[in-house]
Amino acid sequence: MKIEKATLEDARGMRDLVSIYAKEEKMLPRSLSSIYESIREYFVIRDGENILGTCGLHVYWLDMAEVRSLAIHPHYVKKGLGTKLVRACLREAKKMGIKKVFTLTVAPKFFNKLGFKKIDANKLPMKVWGECVNCPKFMDCDETAMQVEL
């Protein structure tokens, strides 16, 4: 298993992984076209041809980015793959000179172990008014806003 930047050939497998959790309302769905458009943001962990996990780093501003769409194949959960993917995103952010990385998550304990701290979601206006406003849970959000400073 190794972490690599995602390729166009990975897009369908990435969408399928994200869809597992989107159906459970644990994350927002990602269309195939949106994954193709943002493929350069994503990392994958693969075992041969199989995509076992994916995670993206979406830049919002000069000093702010989001870790998003972290999805691990259900048979590989709790095996350290999510940690490896988030750390890959944080390394990428640091290389780019990004100072703050945030996430909106239903798994705050996981992100806390990686140094993220809970913040007020109102500090994320670009995110809240960009994507969140289209979420069916917008007015009753169960996600925790968290941030790490690099």
Counted domains in the chain: 1
List b or e across 74-86, with b for residues whose CB sees 16 or more CB atoms inside 10 angstroms.
eebeeeebbebbb
User: 11: domain CATH number?
Assistant: 3.40.630.30
Residue 128 near residue 141, CB atoms below 8 Å = no
pLDDT attached to residue 127: 65
pLDDT confidence of residue 141:
79
The pLDDT assigned to 109 comes to 97
Kindly give the parts of the chain with pLDDT less than 50. none
State the pLDDT at residue 121. Answer: 86
Range of the domain at 108: 2-149
pLDDT of residue 32: 96
